[in-house]
């Protein structure tokens, strides 16, 4: 019998989709580690600003394409849309991997592929988030969102460690090619879903691209949660910069130990996601508590004098970050009208990743000029400010409620 924590897995479609997504998530995290290592150690001389620019190009399109991507998620068949986006991301990984294996990769190539990946991912993210309700329905939506986060972070647990071992053997190009192949997992799952068992999405009248903004503007609870997400994501969730600069410039370790740091944080992230999955409904008080604990975790990580102690602090950051982001995701989805869910999720994804063009170069500049520990201090401050916003929201009674 499947425990309540994993109750969404009782549904065939969700089991199949989750299995394919896990394979793809492992490959995605392998590529992220390889990409950071390529930029930081092979194409530049430990330039954290360059890593920040890559992050900006990869996540910036989330905010610039936001009206169009949310409208697409609410208008088109989400399963078919996901098949297009996942296939395109696989081809992009194949292209970059081929350049690296031929010894032709340059920093500008990485910038180009990061931008193209960002444009495709901007359409993928809101459709993927909203598609969950078609797989499980409203009753298990919060559980499925948390399990999706568990799968994503299980990929973060496995992928970086595997990438750290394979980079010295296959090179970064070989790791990119493995990621390209991994997209076959989710594409196969999407192709084999029992389409007749998918729950029909609620479609309102075909609205205009900006309807999502008008809807959110009239919801103080959604605005507060989106602001919290923006603060932490923009200035706090810059883990490629935090971990890579601490690994290279502070602890002076190789790619295997660099990958292990990401895996250690993923242990905490998986723990936080499973704890969220065990709750029947997302608890609004966890918004400010998770944000505050994130700020504390970043503070401790910045002060840790040894590699092992830093790795332990990353576990705390993982638990708190996942508790916060999963709670926001669940509260926003359950608190939004189903007909507006795709557009609201597009705005949430834009807040989650669209601030990267602002935060990543800034945090990279701080790491280059003041040191990696001060860069973590920026993340700590973001967590504390977000916790204050969440506390004020709950104190004023603006707690999210199901639509």
Domain 7-197+208-395 -> CATH class: mainly alpha
Over residues 338-349, the pLDDT tens digits come to: 777 777 877 887
Lowest mean pLDDT among 15-29, 70-84, 323-337: 323-337
Give the pLDDT band of residue 181 (cuts 50, 70, 90).
very high
Give the pLDDT band of residue 206 (cuts 50, 70, 90).
low
Work out the average pLDDT over 224-228. Answer: 89
Residue 403's pLDDT is 45
Distances (CA, A) of 252 to 285, 307, 308, 339, 392: 39, 9, 13, 51, 42
Joined together, the tokens standing for residue 232 give 């932490």
Work out the average pLDDT over 319-332. Answer: 86
Work out the average pLDDT over 288-312. Answer: 93
Over residues 238-293, the pLDDT tens digits come to: 887 888 889 888 998 887 787 788 778 878 888 887 787 777 677 778 888 899 99
- Euclidean distance between the first and the last CA atom of the chain, given in angstroms as a whole number: 32
Joined together, the tokens standing for residue 87 give 């296939």
Over residues 122-171, the pLDDT tens digits come to: 899 888 888 888 898 777 877 887 788 788 777 877 887 788 889 989 99
Separation of CA 375 from chain center: 20
Joined together, the tokens standing for residue 153 give 């972070």
pTM of the model as a whole: 0.73
Of residues 95 and 7, which shows the higher confidence score? 95
The label of the residue with tokens 């071992």 reads 165
The DSSP annotation for 314-363 comes to HHHHHHHHHHHHHHHHHHHHHHS-GGGHHHHHHHHHHHHHTTHHHHHHHH
Residue 86 near residue 187, CB atoms below 8 Å: yes
Gap between the Cα atoms of 85 and 375, Å rounded: 33
Give the pLDDT band of residue 402 (cuts 50, 70, 90).
very low
Which has the closest alpha carbon to 59: 108, 115, 12?
115
Residue 354's pLDDT is 66
Backbone CA torsion sign across 360, 364, 367, 369: negative
Over residues 51-75, the pLDDT tens digits come to: 888 888 888 787 788 778 878 888 8
């Amino acid at each position: 019998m499947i425990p309540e924590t994993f109750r969404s897995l009782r549904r065939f479609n969700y089991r199949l989709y989750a299995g394919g997504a896990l394979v793809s998530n492992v490959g995605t995290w392998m590529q992220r580690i390889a990409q950071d290592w390529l930029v930081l150690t092979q194409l530049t001389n430990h330039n954290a600003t360059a890593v920040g620019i890559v992050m900006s190009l990869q996540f910036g399109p989330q905010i610039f394409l936001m009206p169009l991507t949310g409208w697409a998620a609410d208008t088109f068949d989400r399963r078919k849309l996901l098949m297009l986006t996942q296939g395109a991301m696989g081809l992009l990984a194949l292209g970059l991997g081929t350049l690296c294996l031929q010894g032709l990769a340059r920093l500008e190539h990485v910038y180009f592929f990061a931008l193209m990946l960002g444009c495709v991912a901007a359409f993928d993210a809101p459709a993927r988030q909203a598609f969950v309700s078609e797989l499980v329905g409203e009753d298990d939506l919060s559980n499925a969102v948390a399990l999706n986060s568990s799968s994503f972070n299980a990929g973060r647990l496995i992928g970086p460690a595997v990438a750290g071992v394979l980079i010295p053997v296959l090179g970064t190009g070989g790791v990119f090619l493995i990621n390209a192949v991994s997209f076959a997992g989710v594409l196969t799952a999407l192709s084999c879903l029992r389409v007749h068992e998918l729950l029909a999405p609620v479609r309102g009248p075909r609205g205009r691209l900006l309807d999502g903004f008008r809807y959110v503007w009239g919801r103080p609870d959604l605005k507060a949660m989106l602001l919290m997400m923006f603060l932490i994501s923009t200035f706090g969730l810059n883990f490629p910069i935090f971990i890579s600069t601490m690994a290279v410039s502070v602890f002076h370790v190789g790619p295997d130990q660099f990958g292990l740091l990401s895996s250690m944080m993923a242990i905490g992230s998986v723990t936080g996601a499973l704890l969220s999955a065990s709750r029947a409904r997302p608890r609004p008080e966890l918004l400010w508590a998770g944000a505050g604990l994130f700020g504390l975790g970043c503070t401790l990580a910045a002060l840790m004098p040894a590699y092992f102690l830093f790795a332990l602090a990353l576990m705390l950051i993982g638990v708190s970050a996942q508790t916060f982001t999963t709670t926001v995701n669940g509260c926003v989805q359950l608190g939004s009208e189903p007909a507006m869910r795709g557009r609201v999720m597009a705005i949430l994804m834009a807040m989650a990743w669209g601030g990267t063009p602002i935060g990543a170069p800034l945090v990279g500049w701080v790491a280059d000029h003041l040191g990696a520990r001060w860069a973590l201090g920026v993340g700590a401050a973001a967590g504390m400010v977000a916790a204050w916003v969440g506390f004020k929201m709950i104190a004023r009674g603006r707690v999210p409620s199901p639509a």
